[in-house]
């Protein structure tokens, strides 16, 4: 489903850090949340990406460097 201009405006304001999801009107909150998550690349149902796995990969790669 395509978002309307109002949903896109709120999505952009959230991405820019001007607003949070708490500031979005209730009638479009679900749609805005879906678009923010989609544009952020979140594919599962978790609200936050797990950065611990990425940090572990970086630490492992550092051990391969020559000292």
In Å, what is the CA distance from 23 to each residue of 12, 20, 33, 37, 51?
A: 13, 5, 12, 16, 26
Domain boundaries, the chain: 5-62
**Token pair in block for residue 52:** 């611990």
pLDDT over threshold 80, residue 64: no
Residue 52's pLDDT is what? 52
pLDDT over threshold 80, residue 25: yes
pLDDT band of residue 46 (cuts 50, 70, 90) is low
DSSP conformation class of 3: -
pLDDT over threshold 90, residue 29: yes
Residue 42's pLDDT is what? 84
pTM to 2 decimal places: 0.63
């Amino acid at each position: 489903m395509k978002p309307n201009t109002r949903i896109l405006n709120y999505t952009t304001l959230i991405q820019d850090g001007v607003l949070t999801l708490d500031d979005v009107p209730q009638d479009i909150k679900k749609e805005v949340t879906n678009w923010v998550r989609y544009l952020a690349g979140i594919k599962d149902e978790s609200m936050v990406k797990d950065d611990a796995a990425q940090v572990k990969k970086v630490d492992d790669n550092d051990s391969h460097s020559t000292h």
